[in-house]
Structure 1
Amino acid sequence: MRRAFLFLPLLASCAPGTNNFSTTQSISVTENMPEGFAPWTDAMPPYRFGPGDKVKVQYLLTPEINETVLVAPDGSIALRTGVRLTLDSRTGEEASEAVAEASRRVLMHPFVTVSLDEPGAAVAFVGGMVRRAGAYPVTGRRGIAEMITLAGGLEDSARMDQVVLIRRSPENRPMLRTVDLRGFISGRGTEADVPLTAGDIVFVPRSRIAEVGLWVTQAITQTFPFSRSFSYAINRNNPGNLL
């Protein structure tokens, strides 16, 4: 079942242009539309190639034309066989099939494997109430706390108990969950130690989750690759936790 979550803001909670935000209000989720976020899964999505990645292209039957190439800024690669195609946002399996198909112009039986040699596009986006919002490299095992540290730490008005994590599912659909960074820091839980992967969005709200939608629209629309058929708002009359 496809889902979306709509959070409707109370008009009285904050007048436009003011900073009268509460940082302790409860937040609930109301399902309103048949499309949107997929159910959260901890299964790590496959890596998708992007500009700056170095990839290995290996031919099983003709290893003499194996090579390592850099994904260009436009997301494409050019091979010595004359093949040129786009790898941007493709998985290794998808890229292997695409190169094999394109190589049939010069090879009779192209059995091809395309794999990541060195990541260059592995970044996570950090925004909201952090000191230096932006894209930061995902190298090794980095959790939300480490990524926020890279972003200069939290602003004084940050809401730590409901940090938002948005990720693409293995089926390339957006998923959303929140983590209690305050609880993690105080030793009450380890959920904020979620290992991040390329393309993740970490958003630290000031007071309410409605700000996530605004930030995604302003900062991510042109760079984040999945469809954003969802919207945000708040319902304070029906307290609950966002899962």
Structure 2
Amino acid sequence: MAVTRCILLLAVAALGACTGQSLSPKQAMPEGFAGWEDAVPAYRLGPGDRFQVKFTLVPDMDEEVMIGPDGSAGLRMAGQVEAAGLTPTELAGLIETKAKRWMRAPQVSVGLRETPSNRAYVGGSVARPGPYLLNGRVGVMEAIMLAGGFDREARYEEVVLIRRNPQNKPMLRTIDLRNFIETGTAVGDVPMAAGDILFVPRSSIAETGLWVEQFINRVVPFERVFSYTIGRTHGVSTSFP
């Protein structure tokens, strides 16, 4: 099925080249993806993140905690909690619930201290594909520059961004960065979010379809937390845990 779809996409791309009409992958790959939502999703904690827990009425119980590799964190008043995948607000609510064993009406707030799991993956026609830490607001063009910029075969006008919505369904949209490159006007730039996957295709929408099928659906289970190892020698070798 995937091979047939790619052949059809190649045929459509060839037809577009003959007629001079531009083509958009938005119409070519709708299946399997939810409708795009512009709102940036709330940050969800991951292994390695460090957060500050504050008890409003009992400041002596305040503490700074780091999430372990298994996604859990140990707290004095709440014990071991599964913190990975939760927003700071959700984690505060969980800590309050567990702390009620020792406190009558705990009031808890959670603040982020260090967020090493706040990463996005940049792949495709860039110099250094791999995961990149998002420090502050990072747009699509900035993420590509972190990855060393476009290579010679990059298709600037059809950069693909894949993100999970609040219901954990993947969403896909394309971004035209040619105007940004030619004029410096960041119209349509999108802020990156933790867990985003940014793909720069080489030449055609068919390649995007094949990449999503082979890389996203078959190799990467699209988890919130991921780890990649990229090796570059004479060619490119990629290993996935």
Contact 1:145 1:192 in 2 (8 A): no
Match of 1:185 among 159, 181, 187: 181
Secondary structure at the residue paired with 2:215? helix
Contact 2:78 2:95 in 1 (8 A): no
Partner of 1:4 in structure 2? none
Residue in 2 that maps onto 1:159: 155
Superposition map of 1:141-152 within 5 A: 141-152=137-148
The amino acid of 2:70's aligned partner reads D
2:149 aligned counterpart, secondary structure: coil
Quote the Cα distance in structure 2 between the aligned partners of 1:218 and 1:133: 19
- Counterpart residue identity of residue 213, structure 2: G
Name the residue aligned to 1:123: 119
Within 1, Cα distance between the matches of 2:196 and 2:65? 25
- Aligned with residue 5 of structure 2, among 5, 8, 33: 8
Contact 1:43-1:170 within 8 A present in 2 as well: no
Rate the CA distance shift 1:32–1:169 in 2: closer, same or farther, 3 A: closer
* C-alpha distance 221-122 of structure 1, shift in aligned 2 (>3 A): same
Aligned equivalent of 2:214: 214
> Which consecutive residues of structure 2, in runs of 5 or more, have no partner in the other structure?
226-241
Partner of 2:93: 97
1:110 Cα deviation from its structure 2 partner? 2.1
* 1:55 equivalenced with 2:51 (yes/no): yes
Q: Per-residue displacement from partner, 1:8-31 (whole Å, max 9, x unpaired)?
A: 2226949xxxxxx99967245268
- Corresponding residue pairs, total: 211
Alignment of 1:16-95 (within 5 A): 26-28=23-25, 29=27, 36-81=32-77, 83-95=79-91
Q: Which amino acid aligns with 1:213?
A: E
1:137 aligns with 2:133: yes
Question: Tell me, which stretches of 5 or more residues in structure 1 are unaligned?
Answer: 1-6, 15-20, 226-243
**Does the 8 Å contact 1:203/1:212 carry over to 2?**
no
Aligned residues of 2:48 and 2:117 also touching (Cα < 8 A): yes
Cα distance in 2 for partners of 1:12, 1:220 equals 23
Q: Which residue matches 2:193?
A: 197
* Shift >4 Å, 4+ stretches: 21-25, 30-33
The percent of aligned pairs where both chains have the same amino acid is 39
Compare relative contact order (CA 8 Å, sep 6+) and give the higher one, 1 or 2.
1
- 2:168 maps to 1:168: no
Give the structure with the higher percent helix. Answer: 2
What letter matches 2:127 in structure 1? Answer: R
Q: For each residue in 1:203-234, what CA deviation from the matched residue of structure 2 results, as whole angstroms up to 9, or x when unmatched?
A: 11122221233222355326446xxxxxxxxx
CA distances 1:96-121 after superposition (whole Å, capped 9, x unpaired):
11111222222232222222122221
1:64-83 deviation digits (Å, cap 9, x = unpaired): 10111111121111112361
- Whole-Å Cα distance in 2 between the matches of residues 149 and 221 of structure 1? 26
